[in-house]
């Protein structure tokens, strides 16, 4: 097969055959075609799209390009969860404990931070001793012991996606619905779950900048699920301001603990409960509960402390240290180094999630280069959210750095500058925005 013919077919808007897509993925995996030809095809896909059948084939062949995880030794239906990314998105640790407190087995493969968005693996690694490299063979044993397990994604999971993702990042071909849908679904299909709940975020801190695009992406992933015989539910949620109060690894994990103890912010708790309900509905336990009762049952699991107890047991099971009350012990102490205050009386009109993400990376909470070491104590905690009234001089947010890292004034100044460009205070009360959560199946 000639690769140039495949590029030309897509350039002229033709549908690619299964064989052509397989040849494309195989050639990417064994690196037998040069990057410029792959990039040309990616651009043709961005411009001319792919239908559901093509996108599903791409997802399936990418899933098969490396190892696929076999979770069949874990009894019951396994439900996975994935978020398309966000700032302050600490749903996974909360959800794992919440869903697991219903005796549903949860096996999660998670990633590290990407760009200005945080990663679950980095967050858990802020706990002293916590292991994030759990061999797949050890999953059933740990599930039997504590009901949940979390591991970093292995490099041999969907390797074709890794090559394509790195190229897309530098060739202006990231934001294409078939490419994003096949990239996400390839990893989920390779991950071995029977059913998948996807949190599709939209807004300035997400890949999808508006709800219309988020709906199109969700529809595509649901259809890929249907064609590959996996149940997929998408929960669409806004990402125009950071989720909850904290951004940064230890700061977010502290917020996770507070949320599981019943002191979560409304936006964070709401999305976690909506995601948990959909995960339970896809599990074997769905038949044991009235669907309408699941929301209040989730609230009860938090109020009664069962979800928090699960979380603490899980930390210990993965080698993490906890104190006498079961609270995780972190590898550093976040220290407040600066506060950003309102320069006027008014209302918080907007807090750009993207700018906040960028500012937290500057403080050290994420990596600018892949080899960068993270400052686990770095980040930002908000005292005000969109819609709140502020007086002149009120604290909007506090900037933190880890105690073991020397205070770097130039980084703090740069972070403040980024935040100032991303936070708007207006004199008028803020009208409600189009921020509702939508579930699609
Ligand atoms: N997340 C992914 O895994 N892939 C994409 O293409 C975008 C977000």
Distance 323 CA to ligand 1 centre (A): 37
| Closest atom of ligand 1 relative to the 180 alpha carbon | 6
Q: Considering only CA atoms, which residue is closest to atom 2 of ligand 1?
A: 184
**How many angstroms is it from 341 CA to the middle of ligand 1?**
35
- pLDDT 10s per residue in the chain (441 long)? 999 999 999 999 999 999 999 999 999 999 999 999 999 999 999 999 999 999 999 999 999 999 888 889 888 898 999 998 889 999 999 999 999 999 999 989 888 776 677 789 999 999 999 999 888 888 888 998 999 999 988 888 899 998 998 899 888 898 899 999 999 999 999 998 899 999 999 998 888 989 999 999 999 999 999 999 999 999 999 998 999 999 999 999 999 999 999 999 999 999 999 999 999 999 999 999 999 999 999 999 999 999 999 999 999 999 999 999 999 999 999 999 999 999 999 999 999 999 999 999 999 998 877 677 899 999 999 999 999 999 999 999 999 999 999 888 999 999 999 999 999 999 999 876 667 899 999
Bridge-based pairing of strands 334-341 and 395-402 is antiparallel
How is residue 278 annotated by DSSP?
H
Between the CA of residue 209 and those of 44, 80, 162, what are the distances in Å?
A: 22, 25, 23
Structural domains in the chain?
A: 3-49 (1.20.970.10), 79-317 (3.40.1030.10), 334-426 (3.90.1170.30)
- Output the CA torsion sign for 437, 232, 185, 52: negative
What token pair was written down for 13? 């808007």
**What residue's CA is closest to ligand 1, atom 6?**
180
Which residues approach ligand 1 with their CB closer than 6 A?
84-85, 165, 179-180, 183-184, 207
The protein residue whose alpha carbon is closest to atom 5 in ligand 1 is 180
For residue 433, the model assigns a pLDDT of 65
State how far the Cα of 174 lies from the Cα of 161, in Å rounded to an integer. Answer: 12
CA of 284 to the centre of ligand 1 (A): 29
Ligand 1 atom closest to the Cα of residue 187 is 3
Task: Determine which residue's CA is closest to atom 7 belonging to ligand 1.
Answer: 180
Active site residues: 82, 161, 168, 183, 187
């Amino acid at each position: 097969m000639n690769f140039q013919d495949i590029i030309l077919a897509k350039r002229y808007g033709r549908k690619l055959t299964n064989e052509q897509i397989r040849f494309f993925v195989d050639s990417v995996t064994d690196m037998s075609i040069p990057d410029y030809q792959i990039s040309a095809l990616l651009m043709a896909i961005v411009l001319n799209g792919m239908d559901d059948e093509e996108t599903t084939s791409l997802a399936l062949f990418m899933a098969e390009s490396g190892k696929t995880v076999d979770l069949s030794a874990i009894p019951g239906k396994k439900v996975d969860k994935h978020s398309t990314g966000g700032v302050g998105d600490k749903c996974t640790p909360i959800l794992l404990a919440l869903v697991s407190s219903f005796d549903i087995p949860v096996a999660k493969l998670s990633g590290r931070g990407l760009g200005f968005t945080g990663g679950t693996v980095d967050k858990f690694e802020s706990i002293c001793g916590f292991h994030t490299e759990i061999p797949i063979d050890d999953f059933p044993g740990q599930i039997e012991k504590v009901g949940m397990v979390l591991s970093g994604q292995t490099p041999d999971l969907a390797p074709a996606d890794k090559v394509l993702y790195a190229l897309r990042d530098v060739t202006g071909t990231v934001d294409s619905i078939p490419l994003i849908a096949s990239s996400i679904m390839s990893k989920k299909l390779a991950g071995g779950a029977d059913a998948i709940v996807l949190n599709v975020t939209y807004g300035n801190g997400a890949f999808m900048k508006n709800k219309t695009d988020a709906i199109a992406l969700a529809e595509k992933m649901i259809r890929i699920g249907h064609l590959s015989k996996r149940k997929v539910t998408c929960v669409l949620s806004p990402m125009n301001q950071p989720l909850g109060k904290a951004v940064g690894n230890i700061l977010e994990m502290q917020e996770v603990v507070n949320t599981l103890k019943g002191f979560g912010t409304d936006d964070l708790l709401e999305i976690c409960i909506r995601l948990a309900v959909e995960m339970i509905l896809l599990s074997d336990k769905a038949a044991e509960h009235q669907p309408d009762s699941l929301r209040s049952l989730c609230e009860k699991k938090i109020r009664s402390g069962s979800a928090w107890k699960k979380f603490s047991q899980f930390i210990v099971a993965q080698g993490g240290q906890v104190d006498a009350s079961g609270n995780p012990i972190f590898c550093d102490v976040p220290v407040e180094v600066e506060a950003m205050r309102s320069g006027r009386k008014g209302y918080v009109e907007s807090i750009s999630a993207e700018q906040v993400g960028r500012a937290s990376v500057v403080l050290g909470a994420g990596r600018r280069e892949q080899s960068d070491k993270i400052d686990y104590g770095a980040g930002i905690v908000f005292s005000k959210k969109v819609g709140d009234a502020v007086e002149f001089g009120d604290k909007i947010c506090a900037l933190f750095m880890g105690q073991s890292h020397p205070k770097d004034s130039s980084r703090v100044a740069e972070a403040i500058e980024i935040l100032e460009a991303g936070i708007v205070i207006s004199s008028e009360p803020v009208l409600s925005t189009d921020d509702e959560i939508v579930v699609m199946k």
